[in-house]
Amino acid sequence: MIVLELKAALDFNLDLTRVTPAVLAGLKLTEIKRLGLRYGRDTLRLADLFAVSGTPDLELRIEAASTRLHNIGVGLAQGIIRVTGRCGDGVGTQMTGGEIHVRGDAGHLVGAGMVGGVIDITGHAGDFVGSAIPGAVAGMKGGAVIIGKSAGARVGDRMRRGLIVIGGNAGAYCASQLIAGTVAVLGTVGRDSATGMHRGSLLVRETDALRLPETFVDTGRYQLAFVPVLLAHIARFKPAFKTRLRAFTSSQRWVGDRGCGGTGEVLLARAA
């Protein structure tokens, strides 16, 4: 495992797109230390910014992370990245496999455009979790994103496939324009959530202040057969969520967004 620890606070943003387990595994430690990164107007060696140690393999650990560290794990296909501390935008964007574990918070666009793999963030995340990357038509197409606390606006926007679980609250437009896939929020969602939803599922646990678009239809209260299977699947990723997930054993099911011919479903926790 290669360990990178920031030597000092960063004055400029740093793009870590090139720093992945697969890239580092093919290099010697001396070559890793000489790896060039753009920093402001300059190109610096990795070892100028980080204390670099360990043995190259398919695991990377980043210690004392900074919100100026962007694009951690972009395009990740294999291996494991572990991050301690807050990090910037783009964690796991367009990843196709592997795992990213962040013990702390992350910025915007977590898992945007991802196809496979797992992202597990213990803290908060910004806007556009699992959404489309700028210029793309569809968002997340596979894999799983688990956010331990809250997330910002447009979680799962234009998501096509996969699983997103938010342990706390989600912001406005959660599951907006959802094409398919599953978004589960164990807290509240913000205004205009599920707007433009085509298919897929949005599960919301805290519903007291929830106002769905008028183009959704209440189809009644159900104990749906697939829900226990889904909840068991989510609990495998995050066992600590298991107790709160039981609230979905009985759910009020709404269908829409009929304003765009959608047949998606919103399941509101109504546990007996």
Which 3-state string (H, E, C) describes 103-128? Answer: ECCCCCCCCCCCCCCEEEECCCCCCC
Over residues 89-110, mean pLDDT: 98
- 24-33 per-position pLDDT tens digit: 999 999 999 9
SS3 229: helix
Q: Which strands make up the sheet holding 42-45, listed edge to edge? A: 42-45, 36-39, 14-15, 69-70
Question: Under 8 Å CB-to-CB from 31, ≥6 apart: which residues?
Answer: none
Q: What are the backbone dihedrals phi and psi of residue 137, each rounded to the nearest 5 degrees, phi first? A: -80, -45
Average pLDDT over residues 84-103: 98
Picking from 181, 158, 184, 182, the residue whose alpha carbon sits closest to that of residue 170 is 184
Q: Which residues contact 239 (CB under 8 A, 6 or more apart)?
A: none
pTM of the complete model: 0.96
Written as six digits, the tokens of 76 are: 């990740």
* pLDDT averaged over every residue in the chain: 95
**Confidence (pLDDT) at 272:** 42
Domain assignments of the chain as residue spans, ordered by start: 1-64, 71-269
Q: Are 168 and 188 in contact (CB under 8 A)?
A: no
How long is the chain? Answer: 272
The amino acid at residue 120 is D
